[in-house]
Amino acid sequence: PVADLTPTGSGPLVPPMVTIQIIGGRKEKIRAGDVLGALTGEMGYTREQIGKINVNDFSTYVAVDRAIGAQAAQRLNQGRVKGKTVKARLVTGEQDFE
């Protein structure tokens, strides 16, 4: 909701969450619980820091707290999800989807 957004001075409002894209989805047998388990178990984040998880056929999108976004993406690249190494990146803007 708009009430949760924080102003950044004279610039635009900043949402509280950022999105991480994981290369791997249903075709690799990855489920939302696997991603949540990797983030909260091995990596030590709390469930409050993790938002919606969308698992598509070939990729997975995870909303995480803005404060941990870059670190979570880096840890996902170094760690494992369901015993498999995955590639993850922070989705930063429109240029990512061209």
**CATH value at residue 54:** 3.30.70.330
| Count of the separate structural domains present in the chain | 1
Q: What's the pLDDT tens digit per position in 12-70?
A: 778 899 999 999 999 999 999 999 999 998 788 999 999 999 999 999 999 999 999 99
Question: Residue length, the chain?
Answer: 98
What is the structure's pLDDT at 29?
A: 94
Is residue 98 predicted with pLDDT exceeding 50? no
What is the structure's pLDDT at 8?
A: 62
Structural domain range at position 81: 14-92
Q: b vs e for 55-69, b when ≥16 Cβ sit within 10 Å of the residue's Cβ?
A: beeebbbbbbbeebb
Q: Name, in order, each residue with C-beta under 8 angstroms of 72's C-beta and a sequence gap of 6 or more.
A: 20, 39, 43, 45, 62, 64, 88
Residue 38 within any structural domain of the chain: yes
Phi and psi of 91, rounded to 5°?
Answer: -80, 120
* Mean local confidence (pLDDT), 73-96: 86
